[in-house]
Structure 1
Amino acid sequence: MKKNWQIFWHILIWISIIAFFLFLIHNDKMTMHRTLVIFVLYGSINISLFYLNYLLFIPRLLNRKRYGMYAVAMVFTIIIYGVGKYGVGLMFKQDVLVHMKVMMSFWSYFTSTLFVSIIFLFLSVVLKFSVDWFLNERIQRDLENQRLSAELAFLKSQINPHFLFNSLNSIYSLAYQQSENTPGAILKLSEIMRYMLYECNDNKVDLAKELQYLQNYIDLQKIRFGNKAFIDFKIDGQVTDQQIVPLLLIAFIENAFKHGIANDSLSPIRLLISVDQEHLHFYIQNKKHSNNRDDMGGIGLNNVKRRLDLLYAGKYNLDIRDEIDTYTCELSLVL
């Protein structure tokens, strides 16, 4: 079907060009018969020369870097077409070869048509290389999109195991302590995993669902700490129909609980999310353990940084401040 459309557009363009010249040049001094011979008949001959080069010589010789053979083929083709055009001219002497009542010789006519033949050959080369360039660009874009999609799928596949690993560690701690909160933690984890498995398959999700997912994770952590986890979580602005890339913010909260002090009521984890219709500002700060030697971040933050680069390129600003006593992350992005 696509090839049929290409043929249709080629035919339409050539008909339009010939019709344009017929309209532009035809006048009382040029008979209709002579006009048809010169512009329709010879136009068709030159068009055949165009496609001979476009469909045969360029793909089989020029594209394969057989430059010598291509040059020889061009010379022979120009000669053969020159002879052929002169032969056609002999059939329509008065319209083609007679100029001011003088009969043109072969060489005079050949040299006069040489430039026209070269023009059509040149145009076929320009069109072929232009089409090939656009096709190659599209192929490269498709390959790049496929590569980025594969990379995003890989990054996203890392999120579930990474989150599950941390959460199971928390639940294991509760089970080890024989805490009565263990069943509630398992139920909360199942709700979180249901969201991650069934509602995060699209490129973007409703911001309201993503914020509820963050709240569920915070509730799970509070259960882990025996409701002694202190986090100041606020949402400013109206959450309506905004959308966001799923599982983008959780890494910051995970790291706050993993590396920070969560059970100090005087220094709670501070989490503020401000939203409007087109922007989101995320702020989280936690107090650091004095003996915490682990690098802040790990897989989670490296993952989210890469996803931001791929999905919000030029539309986000991430500021991470690793200070002596506190660790702060601020993310601003265009939704």
Structure 2
Amino acid sequence: MNKLKQVILHACIWAAILLFFMYLASDGKIVHSTIVLFVYFGIINISIFYINYLFILPTFLNKKKYIWCGFAMFLLIVIGAFIKCGLAYYFYDIVIKRYGAKQIIDFWDYYSGAAFVSAVFITLGTVLKFISDWFLNEKVKSHLENEKLIAELAFLKSQINPHFLFNSLNNIYSLAYQKAEKTPEAILKLSEIMRYMLYESNVDKVTLSDEIRYLKNYIELQKLRFKDNIHVKFEIIGDPHGHKITPLILIPFVENAFKHGIATDVDNPISITLNISEESLFFNVFNKKSEMNKDITGGIGLANVKRRLELLYKDHFSLNIDDKNDIYSCELNLNL
């Protein structure tokens, strides 16, 4: 909220409070005495409120000068009470005589009451200051946490492209080393995949259809690597249209299956299942493990995607991984 809106809001609140009490005190008829008692004295009390709120507290309390802060508040109470007494005696018949009463209010009795009211408004200003500072600190804290979250997600996503590119280039290198005729086709397919990763996925969510097409392109690239001697079962159940998903959140599981699994076993094909319902997505990848495809560097793909799921989906996902001696299976449930 900008400063102009804050000023207007505060003015409207004080005006509403004054009008409400004036109406109650005068039984619906606002007369001169009511204006004196509520408007004139109300302006003094409101001034005390804002002198404390806008000057004393920021000047002394925020700088931890507590003694000076207390002294300034006490001085404001004393001065405010004297100003009220001066105004009261100016409107002697209305305030001191209490509407023409025979008994006149003693000066010190009136002064102590005026000082008490001033202290109440200083207390209100202090409470509001603490509350507003607390909300401001919470807002700043939330903003910093969001900035940290965005930075971490950007870092995680920046790792995906090099990680994927590194593995894909290894595959194409293998084709080139074997002087395979499909090497140019593999490079073209990689180019299409990288275009999606670099340009089309630079949003918070992409259509599930686009993400599925990306997975299919990746599988086609793997088929070129294995010269079509590959056995993959890719099953899609349900309609992907109308759904969106975080980009590049599924590929690490598929990539892991090809990197560490056996893709040439006709009896144990790599199985990829995508089951789509109205509000959720079930994603399962199963593969038989290969002893020859161990990654000595440990890899970053799965650790990366786990962290992205925790940051982006929080409590709206479940991931179960079954890592046995000869098989590897992962099941991912997402709320769409």
1:129-182 superposed Cα distances (whole Å, 9 cap, x missing partner): 111211221111111111111111111110000000000000000000000111
Alignment of 1:147-186 (within 5 A): 147-186=148-187
133-142 vs 210-219, which deviates more?
133-142
User: In 2, distance between residues paired with 1:295 and 1:213?
Assistant: 28
User: In 1, distance between residues paired with 2:254 and 2:296?
Assistant: 15
Structure 2 counterpart SS, 1:102: coil
1:263-310 superposed Cα distances (whole Å, 9 cap, x missing partner): 111111011110022211000111012455547972000000000001
- Matching residue of 1:309: 310
Residue 95 of structure 2 corresponds to residue 110 of structure 1: no
- Matching residue of 1:90: 89
1:87-136 superposed Cα distances (whole Å, 9 cap, x missing partner): 11111111111143222222111112222111111111111111121122
User: In 2, distance between residues paired with 1:129 and 1:120?
Assistant: 14
- Matching residue of 1:58: 57
- Matching residue of 1:21: 21
- Matching residue of 1:32: 31
- Matching residue of 1:197: 198
Alignment of 1:205-284 (within 5 A): 205-284=206-285
Structure 2 counterpart SS, 1:43: helix
User: In 2, distance between residues paired with 1:82 and 1:288?
Assistant: 85
Contact 2:231 2:266 (C-alpha < 8 Å) held by counterparts = yes
1:244-269 superposed Cα distances (whole Å, 9 cap, x missing partner): 00000110011111111111111110
1:59-106 superposed Cα distances (whole Å, 9 cap, x missing partner): 001121111011111111111111111111111111111143222222
User: In 2, distance between residues paired with 1:41 and 1:284?
Assistant: 77
Structure 1 counterpart SS, 2:286: strand
TM-score in terms of structure 2 length: 0.96
User: In 1, distance between residues paired with 2:315 and 2:56?
Assistant: 45
TM-score in terms of structure 1 length: 0.96
Paired letter, 1:33? H
Stretches of structure 1 lacking an aligned partner (at least 5 in a row): none
Paired letter, 2:56? F
Paired letter, 1:23? Y
Contact 1:255 1:296 (C-alpha < 8 Å) held by counterparts = no
